[in-house]
């Protein structure tokens, strides 16, 4: 995956032949379910996702590049991080991170060779109908100059992210949360969060970190210990509110945006060795959680 994204970042100047949209093809469908996705509060991630969907061709075309003509299927486009940056106003490094994230969430795939990279919107055909929706026809017929309504695209795998809280598995860490809950709030519904959900969140939000390939008892215990201790810290920051999956995801998103030194291999000029990017274990530290919330770990 890293090779794919690295190649994406290398291609700066692709010129895609624009398919001329017909009046009945001048729209894209977006499913409202995207509002439940973890990255929805990240305005740049949503902006880039919308842009990729809009940029993808709705029918097979021949794209003209400086290396010759390339055939693109439905849901595909040729691009690179610098071109996307110029089109969206998002910084190139942020584009690169978000592309990695979309690949890890299986929202897109990318195929590269020495000449170009083709990005494919996965499950494009499941959401982009070949016909004009009836309700859209009614809107445009009633008000030809009115604004066009947009609906939203989210791959099935991304939709499943929002349903994890409904699962109650044997690996639940809810007991730690329950123990940290004041007696006055015991009547509230108890959170049901699994260790696998925390692991999935780490993979989605920090794809550049050194990850895990397996989940074992030691790692489950690490997650449970972290959650119990970080929960008490979160209550002090958040006026008594417990640590939730949304709060944990925000903590990781803050690291991704403001603590880049944790996610990069960097040379140590003093010793000649290389500081390796941090592993998932490091982010499950209540001390790091506290320091990140206080802003003490930001890039200098």
pLDDT, one tens digit per residue, over 64-123 is 877 778 889 999 998 887 888 899 999 887 888 888 888 888 889 888 766 677 899 988
Tell me: do 9 and 109 sit in the same domain: yes
Q: Which residues contact 85 (CB under 8 A, 6 or more apart)?
A: 91, 92, 95
Tell me: do 106 and 167 sit in the same domain: no
> If phi over 0 gives left and psi between -120 and 50 gives alpha, with beta otherwise, what is residue 19?
beta
User: Residue range 212-220: average pLDDT?
Assistant: 94
**Of the ranges 11-15, 86-90, 148-152, 277-281, which one carries the lowest mean pLDDT score?**
148-152
Q: Could you say which of 155, 190, 222 is where a domain stops?
A: 155
Query: Taking Cα atoms as reference points, which of 209, 201, 208, 204 lies closest to residue 226?
Result: 201
pLDDT tens-digit profile of 111-135? Answer: 876 667 789 998 887 777 654 444 4
More reliable by pLDDT, 9 or 285: 285
Residue 3 buriedness (CB in 10 A; 0-12 / 13-18 / 19+): exposed
Output the pLDDT for position 19.
38
To which H or E segment does residue 195 belong? helix 195-205
CA diameter of the chain = 71
Tell me: do 123 and 176 sit in the same domain: no
Using CA atoms, how far apart are residues 8 and 49, in angstroms rounded to an integer? 16
- Residue 30's pLDDT band (boundaries 50, 70, 90)? confident
Number of Cβ within 10 Å of residue 225's Cβ equals 15
Phi, psi for 266 (deg, rounded to 5): -130, 140
The pairing of beta strand 108-112 with beta strand 117-121: antiparallel
User: Residue range 189-199: average pLDDT?
Assistant: 81
- Residue 286's pLDDT band (boundaries 50, 70, 90)? very high
pLDDT at residue 296 tops 50: yes
- Residue 172's pLDDT band (boundaries 50, 70, 90)? low
Mean pLDDT of the chain: 74
Domain containing 83 — which CATH number?
1.10.10
pLDDT at residue 10 tops 90: no
Q: What percent of the chain shows pLDDT beyond 70?
A: 69
Residue 147 buriedness (CB in 10 A; 0-12 / 13-18 / 19+): exposed
14 in a domain, yes or no?
A: yes
Q: Could you say which of 138, 155, 172 is where a domain stops?
A: 155
Output the pLDDT for position 114.
66
Buried/exposed code over 197-212 (b: 16+ C-beta within 10 A; e: otherwise): bbbbbbbbbbbbbeee
User: Residue range 248-264: average pLDDT?
Assistant: 92
Output the pLDDT for position 145.
40
User: Residue range 194-208: average pLDDT?
Assistant: 93
Structure tokens at 230: 């970080």
Tell me: do 199 and 125 sit in the same domain: no
Tell me: do 210 and 267 sit in the same domain: yes
Q: Domain total for the chain? A: 2
Output the pLDDT for position 17.
38
Tell me: do 104 and 197 sit in the same domain: no
> If phi over 0 gives left and psi between -120 and 50 gives alpha, with beta otherwise, what is residue 68?
left
Tell me: do 38 and 112 sit in the same domain: yes
Strand spans (E) along the chain: 61-65, 68-72, 76-78, 108-112, 117-121, 266-267, 274-275
Identify the top-confidence range among 68-82, 176-190, 284-298: 284-298
Using CA atoms, how far apart are residues 142 and 6, in angstroms rounded to an integer? 48
Q: Contact 74/59 with Cβ under 8 angstroms?
A: yes
187 in a domain, yes or no?
A: yes
Tell me: do 169 and 112 sit in the same domain: no
The pairing of beta strand 61-65 with beta strand 68-72: antiparallel
Q: Could you say which of 122, 155, 188 is where a domain stops?
A: 155
Structural domain that includes position 239: 163-293
136 in a domain, yes or no?
A: no
């Amino acid at each position: 995956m890293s090779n794919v994204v690295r190649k994406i970042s290398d291609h700066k100047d692709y010129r895609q032949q624009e398919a001329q949209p017909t009046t009945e093809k001048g729209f894209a469908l977006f499913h409202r379910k995207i509002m439940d996705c973890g990255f929805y509060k990240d305005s740049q991630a949503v902006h880039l996702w919308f842009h990729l969907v809009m940029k993808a061709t709705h029918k097979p075309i021949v794209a003209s590049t400086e290396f010759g003509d390339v055939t693109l299927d439905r849901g595909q486009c040729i691009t690179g991080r610098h071109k996307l940056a110029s089109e969206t106003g998002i910084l190139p490094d942020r584009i690169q991170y978000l592309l990695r994230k979309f690949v890890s969430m299986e929202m897109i795939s990318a195929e590269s060779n020495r000449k170009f990279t083709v990005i494919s919107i996965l499950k494009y055909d499941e959401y982009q109908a070949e016909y004009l929706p009836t309700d859209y026809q009614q809107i445009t017929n009633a008000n030809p100059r009115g604004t066009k309504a947009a609906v939203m695209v989210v791959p099935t795998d991304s939709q499943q992210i929002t349903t994890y809280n409904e699962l109650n598995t044997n690996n639940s860490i809810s007991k730690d949360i329950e123990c940290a809950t004041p007696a006055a709030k015991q009547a509230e519904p108890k959170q049901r969060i699994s260790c696998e959900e925390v692991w999935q969140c780490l993979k989605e939000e920090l794809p550049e970190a050194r990850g895990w390939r397996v989940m074992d008892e030691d790692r489950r215990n690490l997650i449970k210990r972290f959650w119990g201790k970080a929960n008490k810290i979160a209550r002090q920051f958040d006026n008594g509110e417990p640590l939730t999956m949304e709060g944990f995801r925000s903590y990781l998103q803050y690291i991704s945006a403001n603590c880049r030194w944790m996610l990069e291999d960097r040379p140590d000029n003093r010793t000649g060795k290389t500081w390796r990017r941090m592993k998932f274990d490091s982010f499950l530290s209540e001390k790091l959680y506290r320091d990140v919330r206080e802003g003490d770990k930001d890039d200098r």
